[in-house]
Each structure stands twice: as C-alpha cells, then as structure tokens.
Amino acid sequence: REKNLVNDVHLYYYQGCWIPDLICSGVFSSERNFMARDDDIILSSCPKSGTTWLKALLFSIVNRTYLFALADNNPLLKANPHELVPFIYHSQSLNIETIPPPRLLATHLLYDLLPPSIKTSSCKIVYVSRNPMDQFISLWHFSCKLKGAEAEPHHLEECFDRFCRGIHAFGPFWDHVLGYWKASLERPHKILFLKYEELKKDTATNIKKLAEFLELPFSEDEEKQGVVEEILTLCSLENLKNLAANKNGTTRTGFPNSAYFRKGEVGDWKNFLTASMVERMEKIMKEKFGKYNFSFES
Ligand code: A3P
C-alpha cells in the first residue's frame, strides 16, 4: 500500500500493478465476471495518455452514420466522453450488459491483468500511449487540479521520483506500455498500438487507421463528404474543452470533467522538468524500452 499522487487516495500493489483504492473492488469483480463479446471494442491506456480523446474518436467513428444527422443532439455535444465509453471496472454501477453492440468500453489495466475473456474473444483492443515525460506532467497537473486552486501544489520532484519508481495509478508506466506493445506485435489484428504524438501530428490518417482496424473503413463517398475532417473537428481539444458538458459535472470516478482537458501539447515537459530529471527518465526509457526497439519522440 502506498500513497497516490492523485487526490491522496491510496494505491494497492496487485500482481505488478498499482491500483487506486477507489476502484479496487471494481477491478477485482470485473477480472472475475466481465465477459467480453466478439464485437466489443476495448480502449486501453495508462492515465493521461489521451484516453478521453480516443474515447471521443472511437465513439464518433463507430456511430458516424447517424451522429452528424443528430446535429445539436449529438451525444458528444451533451456528455463527457467518459460517460459514453465507460470503464469496465465501473460495471457494478452501470449495466454494461444492456449497452447495444458494438460495446465501447475502456480500461487502464496492464495487459496481463485484463479479464481473460478479452484475450480469448475476438474483440478488438485499441491502446494509446504517450511519451512518459508529457504523461507525467499531465498527471501532475491533474493531481494539482484535484487538490484545488487554493491548495499548495503537489511537490513536482517528489511526484517525479514516485513516477520513476513506477508508483502511480496503473503504473509502472513501462510495464504498461511494453505489455501492450509486445502483444500488439504478436496479434496485430487484435491490438492497435497508437502514440499520442503521432495522433497529434496527423490526426486524419490515424482516424482512418482506427476505422480500418475496426473493420469500419471510410467509403469513398464519406471521404468526399469530409466525414473524417468532421470527426477530427468534433473531437478536437478546443471543441470538447469548451462544451458545457465538459466544463461542468464529474465522471463516475468523481473527478471534474474539466480536469481531463488541459493543453494537449507534445513536449510540454520542457517547461517543467529539470535537466537531471530528463536525464533520469531518458536512462529509464533506454533501459526498459531499448531491447524491444521501442521509443517515444522527445
Ligand atoms: P495535457 O495535460 O498534457 O494537456 P487522459 O484523457 O488519458 O486523462 O489524458 C489527458 C490528456 O489528454 C491531457 O493532456 C488533455 O489535455 C489531453 N486531451 C484531452 N482531450 C484531448 C483532445 N481532444 N485532443 C488532444 N488532447 C486531448
């Protein structure tokens, strides 16, 4: 048991993963009881890798045939993406059995801890990863925001040290990333491995890649009609951040919806990390990722 970075809640070390106490019972129950269906789509990520963005993109891609016709009633304009694509471990408080197919569900669990039916069924997994330095800075801001504007911010150096030791929600980071990376190489039709940096660089190409992976490719007509660009704009940080649904209210975990939208930049770590922090993180990345020929842009 360890104190968490976020919200001072505790983390429990369970089978190689630090799990926040808020969701422990949901995790254990979903591990035992969740039955994946062949047409489920599961989004997985380490927190602060772009989960909310991917939830919005997946929801739009899957529902695009009717979404834009709904105009102002488009669910993404009325609800936070976490409401539309729930986490599996909230299944106790929401009846995921009644969600019409294809079910869009999410998890922050390590690959090794996924409920077995996710691996044995034909469901698809989309994983989004992010450079750990930006991810850490995003997590630090998130945790400070939860503390409140008036409160003393969390100590950056102390939080960084814990992150480097793998002690953060759903950490260690490198085990998270490598678990899905290795699995995606073995099962490329089942697991699509994405990087936040690449999504930012060329969102349209990645939207098409996602649709093809889900076996829902865009038709020529859709491309001509600009559906990809419509999805890109609908799910942009600027658009989502300024919607009333995302400015107000809280997620099922009890965190403010607004805390999930900040800068959305690549390389924001340069504004916060010292040279020695960067050196430490680069050394870890080299040690952990080097032998797998895996790296992040920095
Ligand atoms: P920053 O804190 O660096 O701005 P998660 O959804 O996994 O919690 O990740 C949150 C991070 O994704 C935050 O990063 C947030 O600003 C960014 N984000 C949220 N919505 C986004 C969007 N539509 N496009 C790009 N980035 C987005």
Judge whether 196 and 129 are in contact, CB under 8 Å.
yes
Give ∠ CA 205-208-213 in degrees, rounded to 5.
Answer: 125
Distance 220 CA to ligand 1 centre (A): 31
Give yes or no for residue 264 CB within 6 A of ligand 1: yes
Active site (catalytic) residues: 108
By residue count, the chain amounts to 298
Q: Is the CB of 263 under 6 A from ligand 1?
A: yes
pLDDT of residue 6: 52
CATH superfamily label, 2-292: P-loop containing nucleotide triphosphate hydrolases (3.40.50.300)
Q: What span, in angstroms and rounded, lies between the C-alpha atoms of 174 and 278?
A: 16
Distance 52 CA to ligand 1 centre (A): 7
CB-ligand 1 contact for 108 (6 Å cutoff): no
**Predicted local distance difference test score (pLDDT) of residue 216:** 98
d(CA 211, CA 205): 10
Q: What is the pLDDT along the chain (298 residues), one digit of tens a residue?
A: 666 555 556 899 999 999 998 888 888 888 778 999 999 999 999 999 999 999 999 999 999 998 888 888 899 999 999 999 999 988 767 788 888 899 999 999 999 999 999 999 999 999 999 999 999 999 999 988 888 777 777 789 999 999 999 999 999 999 999 999 999 999 999 999 999 999 999 999 999 999 999 999 999 999 999 999 999 999 999 999 999 999 999 988 889 999 999 999 999 999 999 999 999 999 999 999 999 989 997 6
Task: Return the pLDDT at 5.
Answer: 54
DSSP reduced 3-state for 250: strand
Task: Identify the pLDDT of residue 148.
Answer: 77
Cα 152 to ligand 1 centroid, rounded to whole Å: 23
User: Measured from the CB, is residue 135 less than 6 Å from ligand 1?
Assistant: no
User: Which residue, judged by its Cα, is nearest atom 26 of ligand 1?
Assistant: 264
Position 98 scores a pLDDT of 86
Task: Measure 137 CA to ligand 1 centroid, in angstroms.
Answer: 11
Residue 42: per-residue pLDDT: 98
Please determine, for the modelled complex, whether the ipTM score is greater than 0.95.
yes
136 Cβ below 6 A of ligand 1 = no
Instruction: Using CA atoms of 39, 173, 199, 79 in order, give the dihedral in degrees to the nearest 10.
Output: 60
Atom of ligand 1 nearest to the CA of 263: 4
Q: Give the CA distances from residue 233 to residues 35, 84, 125, 139, 203, in Å, rounded to whole numbers and listed in that order.
A: 34, 18, 24, 25, 10
